[in-house]
Structures are given as C-alpha cells and as structure tokens.
Amino acid sequence: MNQLKTGKNRFWAGAIGMLPGLLSAAMLILSFPPFGLWPLALFALAPLSYGILCRPLTRKWIAWYWLVGFLYFTGALFWLIPVTVPGYLALCAYLAIYFPIFAALLRLLSDRFRLPAILSVPVTFTAVEYVRSVLFTGFPWFMLGTALAPATHFLQLADLAGVSGLTFLAAIGSGWLTDMTMRHPGGLTRRVVETLACVGVFAAAWTYGSFRLHQNAFRPGPTLAVIQKYIPQSIKESSGIAGDKKLFNGFMKLTAQAAIFHPDLIAWPETMVPGFLNRQWLALSPYVFRAGYTRRLLTLDQGFARELKDFSHRTGVSLLVGSSSVRFNARGRVRQMQNISVLFTPKRGQVSPPYAKRHLVPFGEYVPFKRSAPWLHHWLLYLTPFGPKDDYSLTPGRSWRRFHLTVGSHSWRFGTPICYEDAMGHPSRMFARPRHGRKGVAFLVSISNDGWYRDRAELEQHLQLDQVRAVEERVPIARSVNGGDSGFIDSDGRVRKLVTKNGHSAFVSGFAVARLSLDDRISLFSRTGDIFARLLVLLNLLALLAGGAAVMFRKYLKRWSWPRSLWRQALKRKE
C-alpha cells in the first residue's frame, strides 16, 4: 500500500513539475499575433526557468524541455500546416532542440557561477535565440523581442542592439520573477535589490524610447503606392498562360487606379509578374525554342515588360515589380533561376541589373545536399511544399543591389528585401549600412508573397518583423505583400497606413498611397550589427569551456587521490 502511495506521489509530483513548462509555452504563444498579448512576453520564461532551476538536469527532464519547445512551436507555427505537414513537424522538432540547450546553459550559469536568474536567464536565452536565428541560414521567427513591437517605447531599444536587445530586456523580467519565487540566501535584501534593478532597467528603456520618439529628425521623402491582391499560391501555380495574363491585368488595373494619386513609385508584391523578366531571357527570339509552350511564354513575358515600360513612360511613375529570372548555358539548358525585383523608370525603362534575392528560404527556395548527397537531397524534398517530383531550387544573388528613385532634382536610394529577407536583421542592415557617414538607403520596399497561408496570424507576425527592422535601421518601410498586410511603417516602427477594405487588411485587394518621412538618424545597430548577441554567445561558450575544464580537473584530482591516501597511511604507520 505504501509503495502504491509512493508511486502515486511520484506521478503527481512529476505531473506538477511539468506545469511550469506548459505555462511558459502557453504564455509565449499568447505573446505573438493573433493574440498579441505582448506584456506576457516580459514574464513568459519565468515558469520554465523556475522549473529548470528547481529540478536536476536528468535525461527525463531534458526530454521534457524538448517537448515543451515542440509544443510551443507547433502551437505558434500552425499556419504552416496547409503548406507542408512533414516540413512543419520537422521544423518544430528541430526548433525544440534549443529549449534543452537553454536549460543546460541556465543551470551552468546558476550552479557553477552562482549568477542570479535576473542575469542568467537573459544571458542564456538571448544567446540561444540568436544562434537559432542564424544557424543553418537561421529561423528568426518568434524571437521573443519581436513580441514587443506593439510597445513602441520599448521597441526603440532595437536601434542599439537589434531584436536581441529587445529579447534581453524581456528576459530580464522573467529572470526577476524567477528569483522572486525561489529561496535564496540574502532573503529580503536580495529581493529588494533585484526589484530596484529590474525597475531601473525598464525605466531606462522607457526613457530612451521616449527620447527617441520625441526627436525631430525627419524630412519629407517620395510618395509611394503599394499594391495588394490575394492570389492563393495554388491558383498562382496552376493558372497557365491565360491565368498569368489575367493575373497581370488585375495588377495593372490597380496600378492605373493608384497612378491617379501621382505617386513617385508603385510597388508590386514578390513574383506577381508571371514568367521571367531578366534581360537575357527577354532578348531571345521565340523561334529559338522548339516547344510551342515556351514560345508562347517568352512572347507573353516580352509583352509584360513592354507594357510595364510603356505605362511608366506614359504616366511618369516608376514601377517596382517582383518576378523571376532564368539563365541558360551554352547547351540551351537552364543554368540558374533567381527571385528578382525589377525597376522600371519613365526615362530609362527597365533598369539593369535587377536585385536578385540573396537569402533563400530553406526547403522553400533551396534544398541542401543536392550535389554532395543526392540520395539525402531526394528524401528532403518530401519536406518542401512541392514534393519530391519538383525541385524548386534557386540561385542566390551576389550583391545587395540598391536602386535609385529620381524625381526632379531629388534622388533617393532604396533597397528591396524579398520574401523573408525582412524577417532577419542582416539583409536589411546590409542594404542600410552607412557608408562615408551616410545611410546606405533612404527607405526600404519590402515585397513578399504570403499567398501560401490561409490564416492572418502569419501576416500579422510578418508585419511585426518589419516594425523591428524599421527601428533597427531607422528607415521607413513600404510593404507590398500578396495577401497582406501591405502598407507603410515609419522609422519609429509605427504602422502608419495599411491597404484596407471594409475594415480588413488581410486577404483583400487594393492599394495605399503615402508620403514617406525620411529619417536622418543612423542607428548604432546599423554600424555594429549583432555584436551584442555575439558577445553573449561568446560569454556562454566561455562558461561552457570553464565548466568543462573544472569537471576535467576534478576527474584528474580523483585519479591521483589514491596515491596520496596511501602515502598518508604509510606516514602514520611510521609514526
């Protein structure tokens, strides 16, 4: 009977021990859109951190921390299910690995170096999160700091240390709450000191944000229009030549309506010009191809380019469109395909060269091991939205191509991050990185195709990522997205205007026109990049090395402890 009671007690103790991790996973999910309860992000890690620090780091609990991460990402990434179920599960399983890594580092800093949670939680979690955002090309979605995008005062901190600075700030709150719920030597005095330190940090962050928001460093810029339609990817891929023409005409109709407001530039979403718009392809004669479909496709693309050029010349409005590029080798076979943005101006027509997307989406725009391990590459194709029969692999671009928008005596440089390039800080920083004391670009035009998804959660999350990018680089961002949310974000990260219809901004068609306010401030993040996050990673690596060295030294001492004990015994016998 006692054994049964003991077994029941162990079961309930284990079940209760799992609750903190589940609570953290739920709070993290609720911090991001579609819920958007961003204050939860300030304390979301506290239950999990409390559980980690109160229980031994055994295999059972390591597996549980992985499961917590898996539950978190499966709940947050649910919008990926219609695209690829195998890829969705594989991605969540991979991302969950970082939770046990966080647990191990947190225990190391807490046990070995006696750091309080108010320091160890932000130091470890921010470093682990940064590694997740860059390793294997990175997955920067659901970085904790992004949840603070609606908190405009706190968001201004991103121009110092990027999104990692925001994550560090949010994790401080979780670390403080963890310390408040645990027993520590020092008692009340330690709690008071940590509370004052936590309040001081958040007050300083709020004060800095208020200072930045009240700065007057703006000047009028060009007037831009962004076009938005909702073309589901399934329809876009199966439309054929007739459907491509219909899709193009729909965008041209909205473009003509937007041109009435006399913008300086009209932007289309990513790949919304069907076919290919690179000069090498357009310069070919249809008669070099034997296949009738290829001939008709080339003729159609040449017509698209001619129509865009004529429209720009006729209206005096520049056009930025998203399309694809194809190049052939000497044998006439496809050598490379790229995802490009193309600029048409009233005077120059099609500007060459276009910008070719540099950061490709893994398992969406490329699949690894194509040449080194073809058998593995074949099986990995099952994780893509296209399946094993269609290897939709692109070639990354080689330069951060910037365009010039010239209106009268004014000229502005701008960059065009494509698809998920705006989800991470590096591409936007490479566009805006200052040179000779001046910003690399005056503004960014982000063009994306979010027609893959059926839930507005992904659209809202993508919009928040651009809010962070705008503050990191202190540049306004115009967004043209298939599906939504298209609109304008100022350099303080505030959403100024969205394409709306009947009060909705997602899965609607229309356009929005706004004049940009250019920002003369150059952020510290633009100059230094992710140096703050990298220093935290280095700190964790040094802690690992020191911890490992201590363990090895202890084993060394144990190995030589028996000769010392024998020598002592021999001395006692002589005495």
Q: What is the mean pLDDT of residues 309-328?
A: 95
What per-residue confidence (pLDDT) applies to 18? Answer: 81
Distance of CA 263 to the CA centre of its chain: 30
Grouping H, G, I as helix, E, B as strand and the rest as coil, residue 320 is strand
The DSSP symbol for 186 reads T
The DSSP symbol for 511 reads E
Q: Which helix (H) or strand (E) is 521 found in, with range?
A: none
Q: Is 565 exposed, middle or buried (0-12, 13-18, 19+ CB in 10 A)?
A: exposed
pLDDT over threshold 50, residue 1: no
Pairing of strands 349-350, 334-345: antiparallel
Neighbour count for residue 546 (Cβ, 10 Å):
13
Longest dimension (CA), the chain: 110
As a whole number of angstroms, the distance between CA 212 and CA 207 comes to 9
CA dist list (Å): 149 to 83, 145, 428: 27, 8, 17
pLDDT over threshold 70, residue 439: yes
pLDDT over threshold 80, residue 565: no
Query: Which one has a higher pLDDT value, 185 or 34?
Result: 34
Q: What is the mean pLDDT of residues 149-168?
A: 97
What per-residue confidence (pLDDT) applies to 304? Answer: 95
147: pLDDT confidence band, cut at 50, 70 and 90? Answer: very high
Q: Cα angle at 337 between 334 and 339, to 5 degrees?
A: 165
pLDDT over threshold 90, residue 183: no
What per-residue confidence (pLDDT) applies to 399? Answer: 93
Q: Is 431 exposed, middle or buried (0-12, 13-18, 19+ CB in 10 A)?
A: buried
**β-bridge partners, 320:** 267, 343
What per-residue confidence (pLDDT) applies to 422? Answer: 93
Four-residue CA torsion sign, 78, 81, 85, 90:
negative
- Using the structure block, give the residue that is written with the tokens 């904790």: 144
**β-bridge partners, 480:** 447
61: pLDDT confidence band, cut at 50, 70 and 90? Answer: very high
What per-residue confidence (pLDDT) applies to 209? Answer: 97
CA dist list (Å): 371 to 327, 331, 382, 391: 20, 20, 17, 13
As a whole number of angstroms, the distance between CA 477 and CA 491 comes to 8
pLDDT over threshold 60, residue 299: yes
557: pLDDT confidence band, cut at 50, 70 and 90? Answer: low
Contact 483, 462 (CB under 8 A): no
Distance of CA 108 to the CA centre of its chain: 29
Q: What is the mean pLDDT of residues 36-43?
A: 96
pLDDT over threshold 80, residue 277: yes
Q: What is the mean pLDDT of residues 99-115?
A: 94
Mean pLDDT of the chain: 90
Contact 355, 447 (CB under 8 A): no
Question: How does pLDDT run across 120-130, given as a tens digit for each residue?
Answer: 999 999 999 99
Question: How does pLDDT run across 210-263, given as a tens digit for each residue?
Answer: 999 999 889 999 999 999 999 887 777 667 888 889 999 999 999 999 999 999
What per-residue confidence (pLDDT) applies to 171? Answer: 98
442: pLDDT confidence band, cut at 50, 70 and 90? Answer: very high
Question: How does pLDDT run across 393-403, given as a tens digit for each residue?
Answer: 888 999 999 99
8: pLDDT confidence band, cut at 50, 70 and 90? Answer: low
What per-residue confidence (pLDDT) applies to 556? Answer: 62
Distance of CA 70 to the CA centre of its chain: 19
pLDDT over threshold 80, residue 198: yes
What per-residue confidence (pLDDT) applies to 4? Answer: 44
Grouping H, G, I as helix, E, B as strand and the rest as coil, residue 491 is coil
